[in-house]
Every structure is written in C-alpha cells, then in structure tokens.
Amino acid sequence: MGILSDFFAANPTEALRYANRIEEPDEGDEIEELLNPAQHKRFTDIEITTLWAIMEGKEWEVDKHALEYIEIGEDSDAWLNRFPDELTILLTRLDSGSLGPVLEKWAKTEELECDPAELHPVVEDLRRLANEAIAKKKSVYLWGCL
C-alpha cells in the first residue's frame, strides 16, 4: 500500500478536520469534498523539502527546509505538515521553463529515484494548490499516513 500523501489548501481548522476525518466518518466526506485534495503516494516532508531546496538552487538544510509539523494525536499513523509561506510562494513562481530541470533533479534524488514524468502531476498539483492558498489566504498542507 505504501505511504498515502494528500495535499490540500486549507485554514488551520479545516486542516485539522481533514487530518481527523478517519476518526469522524460523517465529517470525512464533507471535508474531502470541501478541500478537494490532490491524492498521491510516497511523499513525506523529506521529499517536499528536497523539492524546495532544488527550486531554490541550494543544498538542502535541515534548519531552513522544514515543513511545520501539526500535532494530530499520539496514537495515529498519520501526520500533518503545513508548507511555510516561503515554499508556497516559490511554488507559484515555478514556470513551465524551469519545471523540466526541477523535475529532472528531483527525480534523481535518493528518496525518489524515478522517471521525472512521474513527478509532473505532483508538481502541477502543488502549483495549483499554492495559487489557491495564496488567493484564499490559506496554507498548503500535506497529510500523510502509513
């Protein structure tokens, strides 16, 4: 099955509702419909922060390239991370001309080792969500689960 990786734009309350939707099934469908997450597999904060460093053209640094961890409960196999505004803005500035080289570098990372074409839909979703987040004064979140 692997790692489930759902990306969405939300305010903090919506993000927590989404993260806890499995424990509250009646609300789960409602919040999924509201947020319309981009659902992928295999992405954690490590892969996303690696993408961040690549987009900046810098080496990955643990103190700089970090997503905000949001506590959602001790007994959960799931996690929730908020993208810092700096990363969200950077995603909105990623254009078609710079996308190819970014995908090439990201695909070659130790964490992914895949065909760059596999990553294209993920980056397109992240760009769309970043634009949505800025337009609606929200943040981009990553919900993951083993």
Q: What confidence tens digit (pLDDT) does each residue in 75-132 have? A: 778 999 999 999 999 999 999 899 999 999 999 999 999 999 999 999 999 999 999 9
CB contact at 8 A, 35 and 63: no
- Rounded Cα gap, residues 62 and 25, in angstroms: 36
Place of tokens 């810098």: 58
**Global pTM value:** 0.95
- Rounded Cα gap, residues 27 and 55, in angstroms: 36
- Rounded Cα gap, residues 140 and 95, in angstroms: 18
Q: What confidence tens digit (pLDDT) does each residue in 30-83 have? A: 999 999 999 999 999 999 999 999 999 999 999 999 999 999 977 778 999 999
- Rounded Cα gap, residues 106 and 100, in angstroms: 10
